[in-house]
Structure 1
Amino acid sequence: MMPPLERRSIVASWKIIIPEGEFLVEFEHGTTSGKRVLWINGNEYLRKEWMFRLVGSENFRIGRYECKLDVEPDGTFGLLYLLSINGQDIGEFQEVNKKRWITWNVNSSEGKSDTILFEKDTMDVWFNGNKIDCEVQFIDGGNQTQFSINGTVGAIRSISSGNKKVGMIHQFILGDEILQPDTDSK
């Protein structure tokens, strides 16, 4: 379990959104003790004590993705912390996936936020990190991916915009409501 935040010395953190869910990766690095602790969503994933070498790499997995955290020298006394996913810098990874995925956050009846992620290339739908069963139907001008979330029928309509530069327009319909994508999560 995670100690209180004030007792941890987090030197770097990243928010990662993948089909399997949203993850907060935090790295604790004791430069005098050499301690390295990797936290994922508040749970300790990796701990190394008394590392005599301050720089180096730590490899780990999140879902189906290979992650690598590099600790590199930055100037005379500084350190730089870099995260890569499947060989791509995290910024590049997220930028590429903005084009591949669309995310919607929906408030549930229990007051919590649920995440729906749509993979455009496979037409898979993920609900809170779990792939759900879908049925794809062809409709006029595109297709519709139908599914059920907690007993409520949902659909993602992918319709041609008629403009090559815009491409497909994706609408998420839950019950009778059309929901807008979450642009902050991309």
Structure 2
Amino acid sequence: LFKLIGKEAFTIAKHHCTINIDVVSSFVYEYSLDVDGKPLEKFSEKRSKISRMWTLTLYRKNYRIVLEKDTLDLWVNGQRIEADATFEDEGGEIVFDIGRHQANLKAVSSGNPRLEINHVLFVDEVEISQESEYDNN
């Protein structure tokens, strides 16, 4: 259990976290969360630059797929998975399975060297948007 006020440290996966609970006035508290020594907002901003995430539901089971762009590590529901990757002039493709479903993660050049590579996820040949949740039920 957390103390009513003060700091409490804990770990989530490989990230060191601290919740800070401060008294603002009588019965009014302020909460903040630091992850790896940074405020949650800064940590989230940095993570969004180095990773891409998709959420989807396949036959009532929720999945979260995360691509770490700097290492090309692929995670499904928090578990790093092995996948087959191929690279060509137009971009690359990572093929893997989500349950009994085939997934293809394609990296496609935007055509502008100043812009980053676009990552597009397909599950059972259906494009999954990063901005919305996909549910095939």
**Radius of gyration: which is bigger?**
1
Q: Output the CA distance in 1 between the equivalents of 2:81 and 2:31.
A: 35
**CA deviation digits over 1:10-54, x for unaligned, max 9?**
xxxxxxxxxxxxxxxxxxxxxxxxxxxxxxxxxxxxx25xx6xx5
Q: Which residue of 1 aligns with 2:6?
A: 56
Q: Output the CA distance in 1 between the equivalents of 2:104 and 2:125.
A: 10
Q: Which residue of 1 aligns with 2:82?
A: 133
Work out whether residues 103 and 182 of structure 1, in 8 Å CA contact, stay in contact via their aligned partners in 2.
Answer: no
User: For residues 178 and 140 of structure 1, do their structure 2 counterparts lie closer, same or farther at Cα, with a shift above 3 Å needed?
Assistant: farther
Choose from 138, 142, 154 the match for 2:103. 154
User: Normalised by the size of structure 2, how large is the TM-score?
Assistant: 0.85
User: Is 2:66 the partner of 1:117?
Assistant: yes
User: Normalised by the size of structure 1, how large is the TM-score?
Assistant: 0.64
**Equivalent residue letter for 2:18:** K
Higher relative contact order (CA 8 A, sep 6+): 2
**Equivalent residue letter for 1:132:** I
**Equivalent residue letter for 2:75:** W
**Equivalent residue letter for 2:9:** N
**Equivalent residue letter for 1:56:** G
User: Which consecutive unaligned segments of at least 5 residues does structure 1 have?
Assistant: 1-46
User: Is 2:20 the partner of 1:70?
Assistant: yes
Choose from 115, 127, 133 the match for 1:178. 127
Work out whether residues 57 and 68 of structure 1, in 8 Å CA contact, stay in contact via their aligned partners in 2.
Answer: yes
**Equivalent residue letter for 1:79:** Y
Q: Where does 1:2-151 land on structure 2 (aligned, <5 Å)?
A: 47=1, 55-74=5-24, 76-77=25-26, 78-109=28-59, 111-151=60-100
Q: Output the CA distance in 2 between the equivalents of 1:100 and 1:72.
A: 32
User: For residues 160 and 59 of structure 1, do their structure 2 counterparts lie closer, same or farther at Cα, with a shift above 3 Å needed?
Assistant: same
Instruction: Return the offset for 1:56.
Output: 1.6
Q: Which residue of 2 aligns with 1:3?
A: none
Residue-pair matches, total: 132
User: Which consecutive unaligned segments of at least 5 residues does structure 2 have?
Assistant: none
Percent of matched pairs sharing the same residue: 26
Moved over 4 A (4+): none
**Equivalent residue letter for 2:19:** L
Q: Output the CA distance in 2 between the equivalents of 1:165 and 1:176.
A: 29
**Equivalent residue letter for 1:140:** D
**Equivalent residue letter for 1:177:** V
